[in-house]
Amino acid sequence: MAVTSAATGLTPQQWDSKFFTEYVSASRFNKYMGKNENAMIQVKTDLTVKPGNKVTYAAVRSLANAGVTGNTTLKGNEESLDSRSMAITVDVLRHAVTMTAWEEQKSAIALRDAARTQLKTWAMDTLRNDLVAAMGNINGVAHASATEAQKDAWLVDNADRTMFGDTLDNNDGADHSASLGVIASTEIFDTGQASIAKRFASQANPRIKPIRVEGSEGEQEWYIWWANTYSFRDMQASLAQTNREARPRDVMSNPLFNSGDLLWDGMIIKELPEIASLGAVGASSAVIRPNYLCGAQALGLAWAQRTKTTVDVDDFDFQHGVGIQEIRGVDKLVFGSGATDTADLKDNGILTLYSASAADT
């Protein structure tokens, strides 16, 4: 007896798998995701194979002692590893669309295909927005919702990975609003500001580690800047001569023509329009916007359930709905720098730079 098999790609499970792969791959953050500690966005899928609502991330600090030389006894001079941990809580994320059928009842696969574009766009936008929001979180609290006391406490612990305008002296050290208030309208995001921030990040304690990339000339280290639209505009102007004289002159490679990523001093600068303004909070009401210098283990993305689809039929088989759901969590990775995991929390892989950036007139 001949048994008919479903065509490849037509089962709901295969559809779900392809949908998940495509929507994550299409994300502008995809190339910076990875499962190891070198990735800017460290992805964990532990809970897809076991129950739970939290995924633990770990950081092991670099060894600080000098070791021994010559005939000095090593016994008794060992150094203990300083390891830290952070848990990201996952939650259910769902959305759905409903359609009506006039002439024929749609199959489960047809329903999924009909809603594919809308649901895929929504899933991509939601992941992007969650990652952008996480960059600005104040110890797990959305920046816009954080109190002044929470921002001040965060600044105390993150004084070595926070920069206000052109100079480190703008950082009050304990008053977030006061530090923003001294940024002049001329302190825009340019090559000088970016290079100071890079040196600051590399000397922080613990250091913000750059991302290591294997290239044609061996291993290279890069930091990634995520810049708001107006700061990116200012950096474009700052790099105009460099791009004209030092970058390839063809249309596809030179950002003067294609508005592509900018390169400067071991940093890749990318535009992220979703970074919001803080308003006219600088000196003489200068508009201030954040930019984020990211290294390894800047963000955590934990999946407990990959995207799956569900269907619903209602109104005497006239209304047909299809939904997607997944269980995941996103947050900035923060680890304690004090005596315990949760004492003196520091942003692990992000330096926050506040720059003046007026809108176009």
Once rounded to an integer, what is the mean pLDDT over residues 40-55? 87
Residue 331's alpha-carbon distances to 5, 141, 142, 229, 326, in angstroms, are 43, 10, 10, 23, 16
Gap between the Cα atoms of 272 and 63, Å rounded: 35
**Phi, psi for 160 (deg, rounded to 5):** -90, 5
Judged against a pLDDT cut of 60, whether residue 10 lies above it is answered with no
- Examine residue 226 and state whether it is found in any structural domain, yes or no: yes
Q: How confident is the model at residue 9 (pLDDT cuts 50, 70, 90)?
A: very low
Gap between the Cα atoms of 121 and 104, Å rounded: 27
Return mean pLDDT, the chain. Answer: 87
Which structural domain range is residue 48 located in?
13-61+88-361
Judged against a pLDDT cut of 80, whether residue 218 lies above it is answered with no
**What is the pLDDT at residue 288?**
98
Gap between the Cα atoms of 255 and 239, Å rounded: 10
pLDDT digits over 155-212, tens only? 999 999 999 999 999 999 899 999 999 999 999 999 999 999 999 999 998 999 999 9
Q: Return the higher-pLDDT residue of 341 and 88.
A: 88
- Examine residue 153 and state whether it is found in any structural domain, yes or no: yes
% helix / strand / coil in the chain, to the nearest 5? 30, 30, 40
**What is the pLDDT at residue 247?**
65
Tokens of 143: 């920046």
Among 109-123, 184-198, 232-246, 265-279, the minimum mean pLDDT is found in: 109-123
Please count the CA atoms within 13 angstroms of the CA of 236 that sit on its side-chain side.
18
- Examine residue 74 and state whether it is found in any structural domain, yes or no: no
- Examine residue 67 and state whether it is found in any structural domain, yes or no: no
Once rounded to an integer, what is the mean pLDDT over residues 11-21? 83
With CA atoms as reference, report the closest residue to 167 among 200, 204, 205: 200
Q: How confident is the model at residue 6 (pLDDT cuts 50, 70, 90)?
A: very low
Degrees (nearest 5) of the Cα angle 31, 33, 37? Answer: 130
Count Cβ atoms within 10 A of the Cβ of residue 13 and give its class: 0-12 exposed, 13-18 middle, 19 or more buried: exposed
Classified as helix, coil or strand, 95 is strand
Judged against a pLDDT cut of 50, whether residue 232 lies above it is answered with yes
- Count each helix (H run) and each strand (E run) in the chain, helices first: 8, 16
The domain total for the chain is 1
Contacts with 46 (C-beta within 8 Å, 6 or more apart), sequence order: 52, 55, 302
- Examine residue 77 and state whether it is found in any structural domain, yes or no: no
- Examine residue 71 and state whether it is found in any structural domain, yes or no: no
**What is the pLDDT at residue 69?**
81
Tokens of 90: 């996952």
Alpha-helical runs (H) found in 136-174: 148-157
- Examine residue 78 and state whether it is found in any structural domain, yes or no: no
pLDDT digits over 281-340, tens only? 999 999 999 999 999 999 999 999 999 888 888 888 788 788 899 999 999 999 998 888
- Examine residue 73 and state whether it is found in any structural domain, yes or no: no
